[in-house]
Amino acid sequence: MNSKINSGSVYVPSDEVVAREIEGELIIVPLTSGVGNMEDELYTLNETGKDIWSRLDGKRNLRSILDQLKTEYDMDSQTIEEDAKGLLEELLIRKMIVEKRSK
């Protein structure tokens, strides 16, 4: 997979979205134009997605997050890595997360 996602990078939620938890689901609402592929659609994360989102705190790089997920989830490592990277890639394409640049 030719992924744009780099395990050494730190990803954070974009300032251009608002994340809201409604009835257990995490809904990502675009704030500015050009975020998301459909302005009238809200993007919803499931339990696992919500868990990954909550770890995008700007302190940990993806590798560190993946290591934590692998110890906490009863799944094989490759599936966890592929699923997490797939989700982050989609969020990155939708401009819902950004790569944090070191200063």
Partner 1 sequence: MAQLDMELTERCNNNCIHCYINLPENDRHALDNELSTDDIKDILKQAEKLGCLAVRFTGGEPLVKKDFKDIYLFARQLGLKVVLFTNASLIDDEMIRLFSHIPPLKEIEITVYGMTQSSYEAVSGVKGSFKKAFEGIRRLNAAKIPFIVKGALLSSGAHEQKAFETFADHIPWMKGKPDNIVLLDLSGRRDLKKNDKIRKLRISPDEHVRRLMNNGKKLIEEGRRFQKTFRVAPDNGDRLFTCGAGKNLCVDAYGNLQACLLLRHPDTVYDLKKGTLKDAFQNFFPELLSKKAENPEFIKRCGKCELRGFCEQCPAKSWMEHGTLDTPVEYYCRMAHAEAEMTGLDKDEIG
Binding of residue 30 to partner 1 (CB under 8 A) = yes
Q: In the complex with partner 1, which residue's Cβ is closer, 25 or 81?
A: 25
Give 19-72 as a DSSP string: EEEETTEEEEEE-STTSSS-TTPPEEE-HHHHHHHHT-SSSS-HHHHHHHHHHH
Distance CA 81, CA 86 (A): 8
Binding of residue 13 to partner 1 (CB under 8 A) = no
Binding of residue 15 to partner 1 (CB under 8 A) = no
Binding of residue 42 to partner 1 (CB under 8 A) = yes
What are the residues binding partner 1 (CB under 8 A)?
Answer: 18-20, 22-23, 27, 29-33, 39-40, 42
